Amino acid sequence: MSTLKLMLGLIPSTSKIEQEEKALIAELEKMISFASSATLARYNELHESVNSASFKQKRREIESLTYKGSEEYAREKECLSLKKAKDIVLYFKTEGSQPLKNFISLDGSSKIKEIEDLERYIQSPEFRMKEKMKPITFKNTEEYGKWLEYKKLKGDKEVKKNLNPDKVRNYEELKMFVTSAAFLVKKNMKPVTFKDTPEYQKLLEFRSKLGASDVASYYKFKASKELANYLQVKDSARLKRLAELQEYLKTKEFSERKEYLLDRKRFEKSEMFKELREYTDLKNSADIKWYFSVKDSNKFDLLRQRELKFSDEFEGTAPDSSKWLNRYYWGDKLLHDSYSIATDLHCYTPSDNFEVRHSVLRIITRPQKTTGKVWDQERGFYSKEFPFTSGIINTGSSFRQKYGIFSAKIKLTDQHVRNAFWLIGDRITPHIDVCRSGNGKVWFDLFTSPGNHYKKSIGSKYLSDFFIFTLEWRPESLIWKINGVEVMRQTGGVPQEEMFINLAGGVDKPIGGISSMEVDWVRVYQFK
């Protein structure tokens, strides 16, 4: 299927591949950067918090709260119950009443003390006896006794006949007494009753004082259930509890707590909700959604599975000498000079056949007579005149690698010129052509040993523009690709030694003008 695509030219465009890879690298870098961002750190923190059992439990607790089942409700209900209690209602009715004020003003006063002293007196045994006294008449007086004695002596014969001087004398004295005005008053006295006694006056005084309106009200209130209730409630624990509850219900703490418990949107007003909303906003944000969509995907597998070990974007004005030798590696090591192969029509020059402009390396092959060294297996090195010049660069001294991804964006350009991108080690073989031009085609080669050659070619359409030529080299296989599409696969004779990069132009037969191979970049990755 891939061969058919290549034949038909139905492969991704080079620009598209580069754009996609550039975008993919940028996205990976963005993901790596975002992974250490404060935004993700905050999201992870919130994610752990809002999804924790404690957060969920606390949310349930907040949302399930009701005022009716709260301690505050219980206290308010208790307060209302105490306020409505009959004894406490009556207590507060009594507390400010006029009867209580009158009672307090008289209680313990001298006025009440006098009444209470009188009360104690009239309740005494002496008074009770006096109260029960019989009426006192003339017969109950001492005078009545003397009057009887007088009447007796008056009828006595010895007195009449004056026979007994003592009796007569006594009689005369009594006669004088009973005829006196004082005796006559006494004889004619009205009966003396309890009402005629000082005790009765004390009783009247008591009754008078007790009958005064303020005193009557005092004793009426003193004997009332109202006062008894007031005194019972006044210093009670229930009244103290009511006062405590009333003070509590006036506090800011209570009003705020009640308002909070009655608020059906209390959770929405909590710090937890702010966290949840922040978490939800972050979770639904484009960055977070993107991050988690790519974090564990296989989108970056290619990038993650490789590590860039060598690259050149050709940003200077000439090939970077720290990376590239401008001659064959062994020419540099053995001769400190350039050479060509005996069959070559071209001589490799140190600099004349290289040009770097706009970040593109051009290796130029042109008709130009010059003299240079030649290597011949039989004759060795000798000088020769060449009709053409070209250029070669390699990383033999700066970079070598076994296995990995060797890739370059190259325009081979001319079907008649032998432009090539290849790998080689310290020996002639193994030799791998990642790509080369020749005979109107693009070639892919593996030389495992002298005379042992695996190759494949594809049409000239892949010569005239930039394409990304890639070799994926693993211990068990070699895979050649153009713009990511497989061209050739080899599982036998896979090199197992380090190799270095070569880029070169050249001709096997004469050409009519100047030709060049253009190289935009070279990149080598190692498999992780």
What pLDDT, in 10s, does the model give residues 509-522? 899 899 999 999 99
What pLDDT, in 10s, does the model give residues 278-301? 999 999 999 999 999 999 999 998
What's the rounded mean pLDDT across residues 267-288? 95
pLDDT (0 to 100) of residue 151: 84
What's the rounded mean pLDDT across residues 164-176? 84
pLDDT (0 to 100) of residue 314: 97
What pLDDT, in 10s, does the model give residues 434-475? 999 998 899 999 999 988 999 999 988 899 899 999 999 999
Angle at which helices 198-211 and 110-122 cross, to 10°: 140
What's the rounded mean pLDDT across residues 115-140? 85
Lowest mean pLDDT among 187-191, 405-409, 480-484: 187-191
pLDDT (0 to 100) of residue 171: 83
φ, ψ (nearest 5 deg) of residue 443: -115, 150
The mean pLDDT value of the chain amounts to 92
Please report, rounded to a whole number, the percentage of residues in the chain having pLDDT higher than 70: 98
Q: How confident is the model at residue 235 (pLDDT cuts 50, 70, 90)?
A: very high
Complete domains list, the chain, with CATH:
2-62+270-304 (no CATH), 97-233 (no CATH), 309-527 (2.60.120.200)
Report CA 441 to chain centroid distance, whole Å.
66
Over 60: is that where the pLDDT of 1 sits?
A: no
pLDDT (0 to 100) of residue 16: 93
What three-state secondary structure class fits 107?
A: coil
Q: How confident is the model at residue 160 (pLDDT cuts 50, 70, 90)?
A: confident
Q: How confident is the model at residue 140 (pLDDT cuts 50, 70, 90)?
A: confident
Over 90: is that where the pLDDT of 43 sits?
A: yes
Over 60: is that where the pLDDT of 208 sits?
A: yes
Over 80: is that where the pLDDT of 5 sits?
A: no
Helix (H), strand (E) at residue 141: none
What pLDDT, in 10s, does the model give residues 44-69? 999 999 999 999 999 999 999 999 98
Q: Which amino acid is at 353?
A: N
Over 70: is that where the pLDDT of 2 sits?
A: no
- Asked if residues 227 and 93 have their Cβ atoms less than 8 Å apart, the reply is no
Residue of 420, 429, 399, 428 whose CA lies nearest to 526: 399
Over 80: is that where the pLDDT of 263 sits?
A: yes
Looking at 67-197, list the stretches that DSSP marks H as alpha helix, in order from N- to C-terminal side: 71-84, 86-95, 98-106, 110-122, 125-131, 142-154, 157-160, 165-178, 181-187
